[in-house]
Amino acid sequence: MDLQLQNKIIIVTGGARGIGKGIATLLAREGATAVIVSRTEAESLETVKEIEMFGGKAFQVEADLISPDACERAVNEVILKFGRIDGLVNNAGENDGVGLQSGNYEKFMLSLHKNLVHYYMVTHFALPELIKSRGSILNISSKTADTGQGGTSAYAAANGGRNALTREWAVELLPHGIRVNAIAVAECWTPLYERWIKTVANPEEKLETICNHIPLGKRMTTVEEIANTAAFLLSPVSSHTTGQVIYVDGGYVHLDRALS
């Protein structure tokens, strides 16, 4: 299937590693230019190099998106370089464990800036170009908005906000023909997840327990599976899909717990 992404300019925040890197790489394989916005320049340059090695097109912008000014500068740099924006993937963030008991006002607000506020700010600054191109927006979200996790109030709240913004923007941007969707991620094997699993007691046993609770295949979701859905939702092929939160999770969130 031709996803009709050739020569599209698509921003991927947090595109230097993990899910963001997977999405950026697949977009480039589909002929788009993946614009990686990340605070880790060295990793971004390495990802750009990997993409260019197979003939793909990529560009990197260094920015710590916790700052609204940095969000604006990053978007402006993309516009200056390419003259347009055809798509946006809001992905950057991390489960930072700011809980109700373990956190405080400062930690909670900082986490919201790291995980939610920049979704709004980058989209706000990119919107004039997205309106011109009738582009697509994709928000990466998490199961924590639905299931809770314990000890991660800020991250759960941020993901609830990501889902709500997805539907709100889908409504607001209907007159402009801009589609807005989200992918909710549950148990996906990324470098960050691998680093976390190594911190728990008996990591192999813990991983097996987690996998046994994933109905489809008793295995983790792969980055590639997230990227495949992302590319589809960003592409004109999904032309009548908007305001949706798609769960690429092997049935983890919604299927009957008796299955696991």
105, 119, 120, 155: the catalytic one is 155
Q: Please indicate whether residue 155 is annotated as part of the active site.
A: yes
The C-alpha atoms of residue 78 and residue 34 are separated, in whole angstroms, by: 11
- How far the first Cα of the chain sits from its last, in Å, is 34
Measured N-to-C along each axis, helices 68-82 and 118-133 cross at an angle, to the nearest 10 degrees, of 30
CB of 91 closer than 8 Å to CB of 13: yes
- Provide the residue type at 133 as one letter: S
Block residue for tokens 């925040």? 13
CB of 127 closer than 8 Å to CB of 75: no
Q: Judging by DSSP bridges, how do beta strands 9-13 and 245-248 pair with one another?
A: unpaired
What are the catalytic residues? 155
